[in-house]
A and B are shown apart, each in its own frame.
Chain A
Amino acid sequence: MFAEYTASELTSIFAMQGFAGLILFSVFVLMALGLAIIFGQMGVINMAHGEFMILGAYITYLTSNVFSEYAQPLFGGYFFVAMLLAFIATFALGALVEWAMIRHLYKRPLDTLLATWGLSLILQQLYRTVFGPREVGVTLPDWLMGSYPLSDMIEIPINGIFVMCITLVISVGVYLWMYRSRWGGQVRAVVQNREMAGAVGINTEKVDRITFALGCGIAGVAGSAFTMVGSTGPTSGQLYIVDTFLVVVFGGASSLLGTIASAFTISQAQSTMEFFLSGSMAKVLTLLVVVGILMLRPQGLFALKIRH
């Protein structure tokens, strides 16, 4: 299999594939972070998570169009505005959905799954009606174009580096929020014992709403970042939803570190195999291995042994 390549060629193949894997990793992490909060902390399955992400992507697309139309000189910075708008929009929609739908279903997790699937269908069709069935892409500002040569055979695209930086910032932010802030402490308190948390004066309804909305908001930012490396269509969200759920489950649903580690493992495995096998077979193999491991170790990679 490796015979026809020289050692240096192999190194650069692995480096390039590794880098492609890192971009996939970033997308997985961004999507999975929101899910890990919603599923891991609240136990809610949000099948419309991908559509929240795509909403962020479409908002970024609209913002880039508005900037290139009316504020050309500021075009280089549109992305940061877009990311903020994406967060606000998806956060608001998330809060609305929690209020209208999710809060009635906390005791019926399987029904939540079906209801949010319905929501995802509605959002998909809405995107199709508003933005058309074809995929759209954003124009990258100049400073994000081109690539950075690492050696004469290895080049690293700048937009990829940028997406990775965003991922890093958001991950650290989520970590600090969950484990270092007072608010994160309240969320974890509600997860562990709802009645008790309520009894000590935590507004559990508000905590639920904001946690769900925040997970959605992170998905929106993820969508925004996603436009830097891929194009957006009405069903793009659905493409990633199964993978992302596997990432979260594989990482051991309630552990953020586990989520990141599993996103890394899955994305690296997939992109490395993609070079040697066809894309679809690489994906089949990766998913099969993940499902196989989950069957042997259902609690995921990182899970505490708990008393039930």
Chain B
Amino acid sequence: MSYGLRSFLPKNDMINILLLAVLIMVIFPLSMDIFRLNLVGKYLSYAFVALGLALCWGYGGILSLGQGVFFGLGGYCMAMFLKLEASSPENTAIQSTPGIPDFMDWNQLTALPWFWEPFHSLGFTMIAIIAVPVIFAFIVSVAMFKRRVGGVYFAIITQAIAAILTILIIGQQGYTGGVNGITDLRTLNGWDIRTDEAKYVLYFLCCTLLIGSVLLAQFVRKSKLGRLLVAMRDKEDRVRFSGYDVSNFKIFIFCLAAALSALGGAMFTLQVGFMSPSFVGIVPSIEMVIFCAVGGRLSLLGAVYGTLLVNWTKTVFSESFPELWLFGLGALFIGVVLAFPNGLAGVYSTYIEPRLSKWFKDLRSMRPPMASSTADTRS
């Protein structure tokens, strides 16, 4: 067992994950007001997507330009439940059909559509948040990977799917809330999610789920499946002729990435209080790829830091020089691909880490007794 644990979570990785947990769960809450913290919570919900992309794209070599679809499906499932709770007959008494969401009433719907009905149940919603996107991802990936479609074709098809879903959501506004999305969400089983207190609780929930997801991703990465993904990215045929059904592994990792994205989407809805098609389409989907690329496509923690950094920069830029942001983002895409294909994690491991370890060494050689005592307690 101890061997298993060590192989899954080497000391270095454990320290790094702990540092991340301390940063987001102690330092951020202590140093920010709830408005800023809520913003960080929103960024962290994107980090789930980036984490999935690190597995799927970084390790598996499968670039999906449609992760917004899964983020959106998860987010919409959550939003549908919250919207139904906010649309009780008492709350919506002034509508011509009370008891249905306001946008349905505006679009002359007189009854709740059948696919909205099950979202009255919180239990169903919790399952649907993961199940709906995963089933969808499963169908898409089975169709594609069983026929050996991959690479740029897969990227283009996923992008087309993101486009289709966006157009569909915007077009069917009576069923989906259209371009505005599902807004004015209030309570979760009677608990008001708009108060500061609720925002703190949701922030910590989001952090906990994220750290849990990082651990899950770490488990996958360190398992033989993780090494198989790397092997497949390099020599797919060799893996196939070593007796593996390659498509199954791709389907698995794509579905896992979809599930992580969906979880992020649901956390987004809870913390931000709405969901709209602007988080589903081509543009947000490809931006989520850059979060992962900036952090370093092969680094799980890099995905989280990359997401935080890009979004924080975006917020700063858009507050002060909105017109510069797109230039910056464009340059980021080009720069990270041409100059830093391994992102922040690559910069860290080639430039910073060697210096740090040298620095630690110097420190130890300067004060040998203390260094040896810490070494003892560690081992």
Q: Are A and B part of the same complex? A: yes
Q: A118-B329, A242-B163, A249-B153 are in contact. Are A101 and B282 (CB under 8 A)?
A: no
Contact B337 A121 (CB under 8 A): no
When A and B form their complex, which 10 residue pairs have the shortest distance between CB atoms, in order from nearest?
A: A118-B333, A280-B171, A122-B330, A121-B330, A125-B326, A295-B143, A118-B334, A298-B149, A118-B330, A115-B337
Contact B161 A291 (CB under 8 A): yes
Bitwise interface map of A from 108 to 142 toward B, beta carbon under 8 Å scored 1, else 0: 11111111011111111110110000000000000
25 residue pairs from A and B, CB less than 8 Å apart? A43-B152, A45-B155, A45-B156, A105-B337, A113-B152, A114-B290, A114-B336, A115-B337, A121-B327, A126-B327, A128-B323, A129-B323, A242-B282, A246-B156, A284-B164, A284-B167, A287-B160, A287-B163, A288-B164, A294-B157, A295-B140, A295-B149, A295-B157, A296-B143, A298-B149
Which of chain A's residues have a CB closer than 8 A to the CB of B337?
105, 108, 111-112, 114-115, 118
Contact B171 A281 (CB under 8 A): yes
C-alpha spacing A129/B327, complex, angstroms: 11
A249 contacts which of B63, B143, B156 (Cβ < 8 Å)?
Answer: B156
Q: A122-B330, A125-B326, A280-B167 are in contact. Are A291 and B160 (CB under 8 A)?
A: yes
Nearest neighbor of A45 in chain B, beta-carbon distance: B152
Contact A104 B338 (CB under 8 A): yes
C-alpha spacing A34/B317, complex, angstroms: 35
Q: Cβ of A28 < 8 Å from any Cβ of B?
A: no
Q: Cβ of B289 < 8 Å from any Cβ of A?
A: yes
Which of chain B's residues have a CB closer than 8 A to the CB of A109?
151-152
Q: Cβ of A8 < 8 Å from any Cβ of B?
A: no
Minimum CB–CB distance for B145 against chain A, Å: 11
Contact B341 A111 (CB under 8 A): yes
Q: Cβ of A49 < 8 Å from any Cβ of B?
A: no
Contact A245 B167 (CB under 8 A): no
Q: A242-B282, A284-B168 are in contact. Are A122 and B293 (CB under 8 A)?
A: no
Instruction: Name the residue in A109, A238, A283, A291 with the highest tally of chain B Cβ atoms < 10 Å from its Cβ.
Output: A291
B327 contacts which of A125, A280, A284, A294 (Cβ < 8 Å)?
Answer: A125
Within B57-108, which residues are at the interface with A (CB < 8 Å)? 57, 61, 63, 65
C-alpha spacing A104/B339, complex, angstroms: 10
What total count of A-B pairs have CB within 8 Å?
A: 120
C-alpha spacing A283/B338, complex, angstroms: 36
Q: Cβ of B22 < 8 Å from any Cβ of A?
A: no
Q: Cβ of B15 < 8 Å from any Cβ of A?
A: no
Which of chain B's residues have a CB closer than 8 A to the CB of A111?
337, 341
A110 contacts which of B63, B160, B338 (Cβ < 8 Å)?
Answer: B63
Instruction: Name the residue in B168, B323, B331 with the highest tally of chain A Cβ atoms < 10 Å from its Cβ.
Output: B168
Within A253-294, which residues are at the interface with B (CB < 8 Å)? 278, 280-281, 283-284, 287-288, 290-291, 294
Which of chain A's residues have a CB closer than 8 A to the CB of B156?
45, 242, 245-246, 249
Known: A114-B337, A287-B164, A298-B153. 19 other contacts (CB 8 A): A43-B152, A112-B337, A113-B155, A114-B286, A117-B286, A118-B333, A119-B334, A120-B330, A238-B282, A242-B160, A245-B160, A246-B156, A246-B160, A249-B153, A287-B167, A288-B164, A290-B160, A294-B157, A298-B148
C-alpha spacing A260/B163, complex, angstroms: 23
Bitwise interface map of B from 146 to 180 toward A, beta carbon under 8 Å scored 1, else 0: 01110111011101110110011011000000000
C-alpha spacing A245/B154, complex, angstroms: 12
Q: Cβ of B332 < 8 Å from any Cβ of A?
A: yes
C-alpha spacing A109/B151, complex, angstroms: 8
B326 contacts which of A104, A108, A122, A242 (Cβ < 8 Å)?
Answer: A122
Which of chain B's residues have a CB closer than 8 A to the CB of A128?
323, 326
Contact B332 A110 (CB under 8 A): no
**Which residues of A pack against B, CB within 8 Å?**
43, 45, 101, 104-105, 108-115, 117-126, 128-129, 238, 242, 245-246, 249, 278, 280-281, 283-284, 287-288, 290-291, 294-296, 298
Which of chain B's residues have a CB closer than 8 A to the CB of A291?
157, 160-161, 164
C-alpha spacing A114/B167, complex, angstroms: 23
Minimum CB–CB distance for A292 against chain B, Å: 9
Which of chain B's residues have a CB closer than 8 A to the CB of A118?
329-335, 337
Which of chain B's residues have a CB closer than 8 A to the CB of A120?
330
Q: Cβ of B144 < 8 Å from any Cβ of A?
A: yes
Contact A280 B147 (CB under 8 A): no
C-alpha spacing A63/B339, complex, angstroms: 38
Q: A110-B152, A129-B323, A298-B144 are in contact. Are A121 and B164 (CB under 8 A)?
A: no
Which of chain A's residues have a CB closer than 8 A to the CB of B335?
118
Contact A113 B63 (CB under 8 A): yes
C-alpha spacing A119/B167, complex, angstroms: 25
Which of chain B's residues have a CB closer than 8 A to the CB of A246?
156, 160
Minimum CB–CB distance for A89 against chain B, Å: 19
C-alpha spacing A187/B171, complex, angstroms: 43
Instruction: Name the residue in A129, A283, A290, A294 with the highest tally of chain B Cβ atoms < 10 Å from its Cβ.
Output: A294
Which of chain B's residues have a CB closer than 8 A to the CB of A287?
160, 163-164, 167
A284 contacts which of B152, B171, B323, B334 (Cβ < 8 Å)?
Answer: B171
C-alpha spacing A126/B61, complex, angstroms: 32
Nearest neighbor of A121 in chain B, beta-carbon distance: B330
Minimum CB–CB distance for B42 against chain A, Å: 21
Nearest neighbor of B290 in chain A, beta-carbon distance: A114
C-alpha spacing A120/B287, complex, angstroms: 13
Minimum CB–CB distance for B288 against chain A, Å: 12
C-alpha spacing A115/B160, complex, angstroms: 19
Which of chain A's residues have a CB closer than 8 A to the CB of B157?
291, 294-295
C-alpha spacing A110/B61, complex, angstroms: 9
Contact A101 B63 (CB under 8 A): no
A295 contacts which of B144, B286, B329 (Cβ < 8 Å)?
Answer: B144
Which of chain B's residues have a CB closer than 8 A to the CB of A296?
143, 147
Which of chain B's residues have a CB closer than 8 A to the CB of A45?
152, 155-156
Instruction: Name the residue in B57, B63, B333, B341 with the highest tally of chain A Cβ atoms < 10 Å from its Cβ.
Output: B333
Which of chain B's residues have a CB closer than 8 A to the CB of A249?
153, 156
